[in-house]
Structure 1
């Protein structure tokens, strides 16, 4: 937005989504006030992701990296809407004359309310006249007779004629006093001082939560949708996301719910079929929990998985990110098929996921996930041939990364993945591994035993 546009228009309006900006511009045009009102929009989602030191370049880079690691299309959207990104918007705010009034539009949701507190923090040194147009509160004032349990929590949920009344009245809203502004500023400092990456609007305030806070709501939505499904219990992921938002009354975005769905798939709570590219291309269902196993009635059954540490000539480790564990990098690998020797399994999985042919040398560690009954075997292996060529339906990205004890947490975020990778990097000796065939005679098919 040019400084000339800021100078020409007498009032500035700030919203926290491009959709809200479009609605506001159209409504100003309908009431004949478009020319004198400048509408600015952030294209971000403040209810998710880190917000610590967000007014600094380092803080914004940390936030950007968090999004890039979890959402495959984030980089493209970031480039396409550059003028609405944090960096550019902060420059735009700084260029607004201090005498020009700013109306900040928001609703009773953690996204808008966190954004509101951030903007007031950014403007704390300025004597800017500021109004807050809270559409949830304005709805209750304009429609006190409305029979709703909860007022609309976002602008997009408000009927057009009611929203038009809000826009017509916004210039008559009271200016924020100094005490209220200081309260919002201190609330921002408290919010941004925590490490939460999910924020919800609960009982009239923004509450920082663990990322899995909405997982129970997702599982409940899948179960409800399954009851109306005639496709072997599988339901379209998009239908599940719609059900979730109908019940939680929170603004956290489709992409975040999709990310949590894939976390639940990874953790063994959900099964899926289809292509993990978009919500309309795959279906999910709740996997049965083995109560008999938990009571000790059945014989124990475990899943065996394999992975391998492979370095290039520079000593860099080959890591990848999957669609269902997009929050972390990890060593390539996968589950062992029935009757498949472990060393053959890791050769196959490595080739399928990365296009690289490897030679297993030995085992560096064995790890048990007691919750999912998974035994993970980690190999040390050597590069043989091939160039990186990923399976796009499963793998987001694969590349060689220089890892050490100090930076590993920046790449591998899950503690169980981190510990087994460190063990493999430090291993000086390998555990012997043999494959035997016993039917009926004993036949040694292969043996790995390596000393450094």
Structure 2
């Protein structure tokens, strides 16, 4: 980017975005004093901030030209977003309808004040310390998080918005977060609950399937759900205010885990699933009739497969590693990744 273009890009940024970029640069300067954060990493991170500025400038330029945009879709997770894009292409409307998505699993990790910079920093610090950062993915997640927030805040006021969610704490938390971001926008907003819509359109008396998260639904069925949703009523001002208040309540809580129970998001202690993991390990050891170590990937896979919540395998591995630290499990191998080590009850 030439110097004049760079100056123009910065001049066009809202004050809040300038402060956000400056905060993240200064935060990384502070991190240089940490043993695990080098000057090389600092340079790489500043380059990512630079790339973010380029992306924002590009998006703003495209936004000015996108007078034909007829709908914005917002989803939670790369898998459902990819499936919806396929569906929109099949419907021939992909060029007129945009898809924005968050990569984060909102059921896991702190969401305290996530609508503020201090909350974003706290969440990603927790993720860095608690979850295995394979291939430095968390830095990319942070960049994409800011990018998606910017996309949402930049939606023109006359473009209708469709939010896709399911019956799980991840997507329901994300729904409330986004509606808080949109609180000052007059846009028409619809919410599609994919769990309920799937049951309505595809379940039969002899075949019933409960959708745990939107990523489980193939593109052709998302297309059917979307087509039937066009007659759906938009959220009323009262409904929007209720969601926004629920977000403020959630974001005032410092717990790092949320579950979906009886149609509500519940914040629970971080060790909520520890006994579940222990009981499953006991069962697997009895079935094997062996005192040998079992692959942690097998234990985590079994735990994930029997769970009625959407929290992801990274969180379950985090709890397995905590149980190793606490002496509940013995371990052999290398903790670099779940496929490299085995565990057994002490």
TM range (shorter): 0.7 to 0.9
CA 148–120 in structure 1, closer or farther in 2 if over 3 Å, else same: farther
Kept in 2: contact 1:265–1:272 (CA 8 A): yes
Partner residue of 2:97?
Answer: 37
| Equivalent-residue separation in structure 2 for 1:284 and 1:148 (angstroms) | 38
1:23-422 correspondence runs (5 A): 23-73=83-133, 76-81=136-141, 84-85=144-145, 87-145=146-204, 151-159=210-218, 161-229=220-288, 232-287=291-346
| Equivalent-residue separation in structure 2 for 1:167 and 1:271 (angstroms) | 49
| Equivalent-residue separation in structure 1 for 2:207 and 2:321 (angstroms) | 34
| Equivalent-residue separation in structure 2 for 1:285 and 1:148 (angstroms) | 38
Deviations 1:155-187 (A, max 9, x none): 122355433311333433321111111111111
Between 160-169 and 128-137, report the one with greater CA deviation.
160-169
Partner residue of 1:313?
Answer: none
Q: Alpha-carbon deviation of 1:190?
A: 1.0
Task: Provide the aligned C-alpha RMSD in A.
Answer: 2.1
Kept in 1: contact 2:166–2:172 (CA 8 A): yes
CA 159–40 in structure 1, closer or farther in 2 if over 3 Å, else same: closer
Count how many residue pairs are aligned between Structure 1 and Structure 2: 286
Kept in 2: contact 1:68–1:75 (CA 8 A): no
Kept in 1: contact 2:77–2:103 (CA 8 A): yes
CA 33–218 in structure 1, closer or farther in 2 if over 3 Å, else same: same
Give unpaired runs (5+ residues) of structure 1: 288-452
Between 146-155 and 195-204, report the one with greater CA deviation.
146-155
Which structure has the larger Rg over C-alpha atoms?
1
| Equivalent-residue separation in structure 1 for 2:135 and 2:244 (angstroms) | 30
Q: Alpha-carbon deviation of 1:82?
A: 5.5
Q: Alpha-carbon deviation of 1:282?
A: 1.2
Partner residue of 2:76?
Answer: 16
